């Protein structure tokens, strides 16, 4: 899978989960010669045993980033 986001860092938490820091970018074609780019950096908590990439992908999809 080609990921439309970048994992910047993963921090293990005492509860067994992880805090995942990530960056996502969205490019919108405005006209033939112009593009608009939006970038967001954020973090999310991922429970122990849960796939990091799948979790980040799902929250970005639910929030409308793609």
Query: Which portions of the chain are predicted below pLDDT 50?
Result: none
| pLDDT recorded at residue 66 | 80
Neighbours of 35 (CB within 10 A): 9
| pLDDT recorded at residue 2 | 76
| Domain count along the chain | 1
End-to-end C-alpha distance for the chain, whole angstroms: 15
| pLDDT recorded at residue 1 | 61
| pLDDT recorded at residue 44 | 97
| 52 phi and psi angles, rounded to 5 deg | -65, -50
What global pTM score does this model have?
A: 0.84
| pLDDT recorded at residue 16 | 93
Show the domain range for 46: 5-62
């Amino acid at each position: 899978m080609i990921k439309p986001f970048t994992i910047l860092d993963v921090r293990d938490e005492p509860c067994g989960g992880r805090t995942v820091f990530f960056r996502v970018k969205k490019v919108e074609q405005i006209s033939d010669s112009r593009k608009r780019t939006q970038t967001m950096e954020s973090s999310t908590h991922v429970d122990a045993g849960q796939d990091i990439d799948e979790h980040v992908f799902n929250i970005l999809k639910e929030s409308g980033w793609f």
